[in-house]
Structure 1
Amino acid sequence: MPKSPRKRALSSPHDALFQWTFSQREHAVGLLKAALPSSLAAAVRWSTLRVEKGSFVDRALRSRHSDLVLSARIGEGRVYFYVIVEQQRDVEALMVFRMGLYMMRLWEQIVRDQPGLKKLPPIMPVLIHHSDTGWTAARAFQDVVAVDGPERAALLPHVPCFELRLIDVSGGRAGDLVEQALTALGKVVLWCLSVSGDDARLEREIARTAAALDEVLQAPNGLAALEALLRYLVATHARFSVRKIGRLLEKAAGPRAQEAIVTTLDEIERRGERRGRAQGERRGRAQGRAQTLLELLTARFGAVPAEVSARILAANEAALVAWTTRVLTAPTPEDVLVEDGKRPAPARRPAARKRARRS
């Protein structure tokens, strides 16, 4: 049974839910069949679908873009599917350019992993988009290249040529998506992504997911899926309590789901309480070590400089342990806090004012 995205859900709920769901072959096959042109979907040997390693999104953008790379046999070779799910409130005008960068990074990795390759495998770029307005920017790379007039026809053969396969779930729409191909969990996940942060839509539309939710809960990994969904909804609807979201799900899924939902909510709350206690214990240990270190420094050197004291009080437990071992050998309080063999640079003093010349 796939594990639920407990740790990742706290820091990146979109990435956690998307990766956990569509890294499972059953749901990934449903998503791709729903997203691709029917002729291409019919040619893919779906039994060979696999998840590829690696993420190609810039670190600074990972809160807005989550990516997943899959591949499958088609004809005599493999086709790669580069899927990005986008969670932002505006439309990025050059998203097709950014997708092109990510595709090049994927090709670069493929060539590195397969030395001697003579031809590149095809990559199908799929964008799952959600914004307040819906998609309004270019899908084709050629359309973001600023060349007009008679020169355009002469230049276009020298410009990269590809087009995004767009799945726009903004406002509950699902443009270019064959929803019948999705699994029940796939349908619920895309709906959850589309209502992210919109409390009114969550309450207004959750009844539409009733049949799919019931099917999700009856699946072998139903409890894990339910926990993943609950964690995502709690993380993206901060004004709603855990219990309120649970009641909304109970109302949509019906009485058969009530026990599973209550059990899952209880477990989420117990884990939260345990995590809070553990964090409190770690903070307590760090504070105790910091106080001990300050007392040792005072006993050996006298009054501790304010900047040294501030660094100690803000440090984590690992740093405090390392610094405490240096108290007996370091020549000064500042040398106790040396990192990687280098003493911290002294604070810059303000330049002395020039004395006025005597007349």
Structure 2
Amino acid sequence: MSRARSRAGAPVVTGDEGRREPRGGRKRVAGEKPAGEKPAGEKPAGEKPAGDGEAARGGEAPGAAKAAGATPHDGLFQFTFGKVEHAAPALKAVLPGALAAQIDFSTLRLERGHFVDPKLEERRSDLLFSATMGGRRGLIYLLFEHQSYVDPRMLLRILEYMTRIWRAYLEQHPEVKRLPVVLPVVLHHSKSGWRAARRFEELLDVNGALEEAAGELLLRFGVVLDDISHVEDEELSRRALSALGKVVLHLFRHARSPEELLGRLQGWAVALRAVVAAPEGGAAMMAVMEYLRSVTGQDRTEVVMAVREAVGRTEADRVLYASEYLKEEGREEGLEKGREEGREEGRLEGERRMLRRLLERRFGELPVQAVERVDEAPLDALESMAERLLTASTLEEVLEGKGEARRSRAAGKKRQVGAGRKVKPRAARKG
């Protein structure tokens, strides 16, 4: 559990209630303690007090290809907006201007803790941030809703999540007199769009006279709602977001039409090229492409070809080969084959199959000689062919290399010239 204080410059506590375990683990339900955890206030022997550096600054990627989320949506959400360079502009874009002006986004920090009910993980995901706001440390709770319907009592659930955050804070700081501010922000996408209450008091069964008479006795609060269900692509593109943030919102916006998703990539080409050019472009593109593969049901080859068309073959392959994305399908097929004939032979077959498919995509139906050349090639030759595929303009250049291809064409021309030349008979020598 991360430590916190309620004064400016100090980290803010977040709880273990519902916190997600590291990759491969499970989430604990609210209030469940990890095995071996000491009672509240008792530190394990040798444990140092937590400081400013304990909270995850910017967040750790849950994994490049597949984040540790319950769904592809959750994984890409955590991977992207779990990093402050993507979260800060996204939050600034949706918060009311006067409120955003009170927040020092340079102090934004990802805090440990997840507060969504485990049984609801497939439909929503959350992130908790802390930042200096109004001269003191406060919290921003970002909830991502990706479900086919809208929960009419969503504001009640958000109240429960906020209460968990405050209780976790008080567990660590029972001496404090005031609670930190928690600003709830909801990123929502559904087929119909948000149709539930936007303020908590809308859930209460009161008439106007009773509401007026009760006054401050009634609980009142709202949420910052970013409903992208029907937002046009042009509007999303105009937002002052990071390139990856724009791409991810576009993907979420159209994820309910997976059959159209790959075809829409060209419309987001500017943002995709910026993602590729970024320092961590390889990891980001792997996350995006794994999301595309999971949502559309297409294999890696189809996804790679769609990205190449949108970004450009050279740019796409440079980052994809650097991140070994294109080799992944060969490895998977190789491992499957390896169970029957040995891992090395299985991987080799997977590499050959992957290269054949890429060649067919590039040059059309392959001649028999080309297929035989690939099927007989050892692993190092296949890797060389795959590298030449990035820049070669002909099938010959891929299979033989530029020098060999030129010599082969030159030799062929000589044979053709020789075959067409008439040879004059020598004159018989006089005796």
TM-score, structure 1 as length reference? 0.71
CA contact (8 A) 1:167 1:174 kept: no
Whether 2:317 is the aligned partner of 1:259: answer yes
SS in 2 for 1:185: helix
CA contact (8 A) 1:140 1:162 kept: yes
Q: For this pair of structures, how many residues does the alignment match?
A: 280
* Post-superposition CA distance 1:208-250 (Å, at most 9, x none): 2110100010000000000010111111112x23222222222
CA contact (8 A) 1:68 1:82 kept: yes
1:218 is matched with which residue? 277
1:243 is matched with which residue? 301
CA contact (8 A) 1:142 1:156 kept: no
Whether 2:96 is the aligned partner of 1:37: answer yes
**Aligned equivalent of 2:248, options 157, 176, 189:** 189
Separation (CA, whole Å) in 1 of partners of 2:92 and 2:178: 26
**Aligned equivalent of 1:79, options 126, 135, 138:** 138
- Say which structure, 1 or 2, has more relative contact order (CA 8 Å, 6+ apart): 1
Separation (CA, whole Å) in 2 of partners of 1:135 and 1:268: 39
* Post-superposition CA distance 1:21-52 (Å, at most 9, x none): 11211111111111211122222111211111
CA contact (8 A) 2:236 2:249 kept: no
Unaligned 5+ segments in structure 2 are 1-59, 341-431
1:315 is matched with which residue? none
Q: Counterparts in 2 of 1:301-312, with a 5 A limit? A: none
**Aligned equivalent of 2:258, options 195, 199, 206:** 199
The letter for the 2-side match of 1:249 is V
2:205 is matched with which residue? 146
The structure richer in helix per residue is 1
When residues 215 and 109 of structure 1 are mapped into structure 2, their CA distance, relative to the original with a 3 A threshold, is same
When residues 275 and 131 of structure 1 are mapped into structure 2, their CA distance, relative to the original with a 3 A threshold, is farther
2:86 is matched with which residue? 27
The letter for the 2-side match of 1:233 is L
* Post-superposition CA distance 1:89-137 (Å, at most 9, x none): 1111111111111111111111112221111111111111111111111
* Post-superposition CA distance 1:54-96 (Å, at most 9, x none): 1000000001110000010113311211001111111111111
1:17 deviates by 1.0
**Aligned equivalent of 2:157, options 80, 88, 98:** 98
* Post-superposition CA distance 1:172-217 (Å, at most 9, x none): 4489989532111101111111222412441453222110100010
* Post-superposition CA distance 1:226-280 (Å, at most 9, x none): 0010111111112x23222222222222234331465354243245447768999
Separation (CA, whole Å) in 2 of partners of 1:87 and 1:5: 21
When residues 202 and 78 of structure 1 are mapped into structure 2, their CA distance, relative to the original with a 3 A threshold, is same
**Aligned equivalent of 1:60, options 119, 127, 142:** 119
1:157 is matched with which residue? 216
2:329 is matched with which residue? 269
Separation (CA, whole Å) in 2 of partners of 1:52 and 1:135: 27
TM-score, structure 2 as length reference? 0.60
* Post-superposition CA distance 1:295-335 (Å, at most 9, x none): xxxxxxxxxxxxxxxxxxxxxxxxxxxxxxxxxxxxxxxxx
SS in 1 for 2:125: strand
Q: Which has the larger radius of gyration?
A: 2
Percent identity over paired residues? 35
SS in 2 for 1:54: coil
Separation (CA, whole Å) in 2 of partners of 1:112 and 1:273: 50
The letter for the 2-side match of 1:34 is A
Separation (CA, whole Å) in 2 of partners of 1:272 and 1:23: 29
When residues 237 and 118 of structure 1 are mapped into structure 2, their CA distance, relative to the original with a 3 A threshold, is same
Separation (CA, whole Å) in 2 of partners of 1:165 and 1:178: 20
The letter for the 2-side match of 1:93 is P
Separation (CA, whole Å) in 1 of partners of 2:62 and 2:150: 33
Q: Counterparts in 2 of 1:268-347, with a 5 A limit? A: 268-270=328-330, 272-273=332-333
SS in 2 for 1:84: strand
CA contact (8 A) 1:139 1:163 kept: yes
2:364 is matched with which residue? none
SS in 2 for 1:150: helix
Separation (CA, whole Å) in 1 of partners of 2:235 and 2:204: 25
CA contact (8 A) 2:150 2:190 kept: yes
After the TM superposition, which of the residue ranges 94-103 and 152-161 deviates more from structure 2?
152-161
When residues 8 and 26 of structure 1 are mapped into structure 2, their CA distance, relative to the original with a 3 A threshold, is closer
